[in-house]
Amino acid sequence: MNFGLSEEQELIRDSFSGTLERVCQLDTVRKTAEVSAPMDESIWTELCSLGMAGLLIPEEFGGTGLTLLEVAVVSEELGRRAAPVPFAGGVVMAPLAIRLGGDDNQKREWLPAMADGSLRVGVAVSEAAAGARENAGVTAGNGLLSGRALFVLDGAEAGGYVVADNAGGLHILHANASGLNKIALKTIDRTRAVMELRFENTPAEPLRNSSDVLQTIIDAGRVSLAADSLGVGEEMLRQSVEYSADRNQFGRTISSFQAVKHLCAEMAAELQPCRGLVWHAAYVIDQSPKELSLAAAFAKSHMDEVGRFVARTATEVHGGMGFTDLTGLHYWFKRLGVNRAYLGSPERVRAEAARLQGFTA
């Protein structure tokens, strides 16, 4: 019995954190955000050289065949740096969908190029995971998709898409498929790309066991987002402690005022137990998959609430500076806001948790 990371997992964490420290400083994040680029190619390339894109892809297809726990470890580091690269959709959900639902041909066609990072795949499951807005939705028939999918994750400059239809079926298609229209959506968070897809009799291949696979990739995506939020939260706390130590008022550092210390203590206290919740959810996917949905729901919904508290509190500790663009703290604030809304708001996810436990029909 051990509730913690193995030495190998700690090595993975350290190598990602070291690389991110080198290539993903605030000015890089700022540059990406200001030019509204969907992502930073050089960071993506660096991280792919560490095997990031192939984390969940089996070795026979060129990946490292690791588990959701390694995904959570990496995701936390990406959140800590507000890294402008695809992850929850393109590195977690899309490969998992093909690994679990693809036939041999589909796996051979997609996975090796995804594993080395040369092919990126976006994920259109927002209507299934978070509910449909603007009457969006996709219908499937005779190998053709019609309708629209909103809030597609990691879709910018993607070579293909995994798409959920209204009946819970999953499909995969190339970005150059006929009748496919791609519209970028600007969000508060400029560190990750979101888009809308419109389908007009667009040819797509179905994946197998779709509704089970759909639930599993949503669960895995939720765990990944929760881990990202944990990294973001820890970073916002770190910056708060650091900033308050440097700022002097009334002849002393403001970090010596209990009013400030207690805010930081509350953030630390809320964040500490989240790690167990996230790691456990990541761990159960392989051990007892039927527990995954509930564990992922707890991790996502609780982390969303803690994230909102930390985002606000860290900003307040920074005083007026926290409201300005100067500290860059707002990149993390916005990342938490997006993580909360993606793949199901906490209220929606908790309602799912109630259903999963038979508390309601």
Give the Cα separation of 8 and 325 in Å (integer): 38
Report the residue number, 110 or 283, with the smaller CB distance to another protein: 283
Site of tokens 């959810």: 281
**Closest among 251, 224, 274 to 71, alpha carbons compared:** 224
**Closest among 124, 349, 347, 58 to 219, alpha carbons compared:** 349
Give the DSSP letter of residue 325. S
Give the Cα separation of 292 and 278 in Å (integer): 11
The CB-of-9 to another protein minimum distance in angstroms stands at 8
Q: Which helix (H) or strand (E) holds 293?
A: helix 292-317
**Closest among 300, 327, 329 to 314, alpha carbons compared:** 329
* Structural contact between residues 169 and 141, judged by C-beta atoms closer than 8 angstroms: no
Report the residue number, 150 or 271, with the smaller CB distance to another protein: 271
* Structural contact between residues 55 and 63, judged by C-beta atoms closer than 8 angstroms: yes
The amino acid occupying position 209 is N
Q: Is 330 strand, coil or helix?
A: helix
Report the residue number, 57 or 296, with the smaller CB distance to another protein: 296
* Structural contact between residues 167 and 198, judged by C-beta atoms closer than 8 angstroms: no
Report the residue number, 5 or 113, with the smaller CB distance to another protein: 5
The CB-of-274 to another protein minimum distance in angstroms stands at 6
Report the residue number, 127 or 270, with the smaller CB distance to another protein: 270
Report the residue number, 165 or 270, with the smaller CB distance to another protein: 270
The CB-of-81 to another protein minimum distance in angstroms stands at 21
The CB-of-231 to another protein minimum distance in angstroms stands at 16
The CB-of-259 to another protein minimum distance in angstroms stands at 11
The amino acid occupying position 295 is A
Report the residue number, 143 or 273, with the smaller CB distance to another protein: 273
Interacting residues toward another protein by CB under 8 A: 1-6, 69, 237, 241, 244-245, 252-253, 255-258, 260-262, 264-266, 268-270, 272-277, 279-280, 283, 287, 298, 301-302, 305, 347, 350-351, 353-354, 359-360
Conformation bin of residue 185: beta by default, left when phi > 0, alpha when psi is -120 to 50: beta
Report the residue number, 138 or 264, with the smaller CB distance to another protein: 264
* Structural contact between residues 82 and 29, judged by C-beta atoms closer than 8 angstroms: yes
The CB-of-332 to another protein minimum distance in angstroms stands at 18
The CB-of-184 to another protein minimum distance in angstroms stands at 34
Report the residue number, 168 or 273, with the smaller CB distance to another protein: 273
HEC-encoded secondary structure of 6-69? CHHHHHHHHHHHHHHHHHCCHHHHHHHHHCCCCCCHHHHHHHHHCCHHHCCCCHHHCCCCCCHH
The CB-of-83 to another protein minimum distance in angstroms stands at 24
Angle at 191 between CA 342 and CA 24, to 5 degrees: 130
Give the Cα separation of 319 and 244 in Å (integer): 9
The CB-of-209 to another protein minimum distance in angstroms stands at 26
Report the residue number, 2 or 249, with the smaller CB distance to another protein: 2
The CB-of-285 to another protein minimum distance in angstroms stands at 11
Q: Is 184 strand, coil or helix?
A: strand
